Structure 1
């Protein structure tokens, strides 16, 4: 009798889910479909997001295993090797394919298109009427601006925006979450004929725990300030308003400073990059919006303000230097 009752319960529970649940076809080639249920639609969607993330994670691990074999056999570069490990989906551009409330629960089916964020942005922007526009003085030199110009055949006045602890690219009312690879395209070296910045290391390549300084030169007397942007968009000021003389190479920081910069990695054993921004001004500048390099609370969200720095730089006399820091091999 108990066996019969158990079978009846199992059959009843099997029919508690909607017929379409786990049976919806994806609408795009490069997409994942996730399913979720919960006491409300928010919880159901979160479960669907987790479903998709787990699918992508399995795909990434498989790709990593394959690329590792190829690397060992054909000596692929470390950059190619690491890219497979760092692929993460940002589920901002999902589409709700199906939703139903049944037997006191919400059931949803969500689709996420797993293509580069920049490709999604380009597709959205192409659907609008475009004309050449004036761009921010720094942004126009970035890799991302050049890629957009090639795809759109126009210069558009797009922005970098921080929202909900994520980085977005914005154009008019179009907002696109950026993956890590496309966010990195906002980091670039910008030369300036009037001022220059370099490190004291060959080819400006650093290794973990390297102590280093900057070689700075200006065509005019002024005050030099150096800011750094970490690869997660955190901004801090290394030095503020140091007096420099025209046409004289200055080493900053010099022996008069109490501390000297030391290169570090964001993740142990993984190559990282930073952007250093030199600003030379005729008068001292206030940097109240940006953290001090030794500030204890530098990891706070308010200091992930690369977007503010880009706007701050727009009317300044500046040069930038993208520097790679590599793991030290002993």
Structure 2
């Protein structure tokens, strides 16, 4: 295996980690409207991710930076061709971070309600648009011989991509519901578990349709194995949730995301962005990669700093592992 293959795998791992962690973040933001009945319950949901949401976004920054350094042509074509949806995602992430930090700065009803509204929409839109973006990356887009995207914004909103967006939206919301049932106590925990069971059924229908479509279009034996793992993990998550085992449910809902995203990268390899105009114009791990010296230097840096980041983030989750409920929310002044 050459270094550009190694870095394709590493970038896939970074995106898998991002969707696993940020997936329940987005889900919690969406559930502030779907699950919470009052301001206290919304505060409980937001507090479940309060200590970790910004750390989860480090995975996105690292994935983008690694793509820029390891596959500059992939980065250039992706960010120029997908400029509008990626800009919308970026704006949402900025506003979402501001909303988390500023919502509690003032006690006025209108102030907090507006920031909570922002949290909902800036969680829902990226959850949908990430699915649209990755569906287009895997399915292929209009790339010419000069490695430039020649399509329009509306070309990205094709039926396959929209199905991909709906799949990630529901899957992340399901993941968030499982996480909220794991991190809360009392009535909200029971309602989160019940909602997760309902969302899991919708997720199963959409995810199965999307992954089968992907497999039929460009899958192989490895992607088929990942599809099977994703389906079994989702079924297992629903089974253990029904038995009240939220810890196992969260692990299996996370495995569903891991296997589903892994399947997309397995179906994509050795391409990084297929061309629908001419397969010979596709961006691949070899023609889009940086020089061997750059990849070698990146490998050394990653080997040193990646374990430090992982240990720190694991420590953060351990420190803030306890459940919370409305009884832990102080009265507003």
The TM-score, its normalising length taken from structure 2, stands at: 0.21
TM-score normalised by the chain length of structure 1:
0.21
Q: Whose relative contact order is higher, 1 or 2, with alpha carbons under 8 Å and at least 6 apart?
A: 2
Q: Which structure shows the bigger proportion of residues in helix conformation?
A: 2
Is the strand fraction higher in 1 or 2? 1
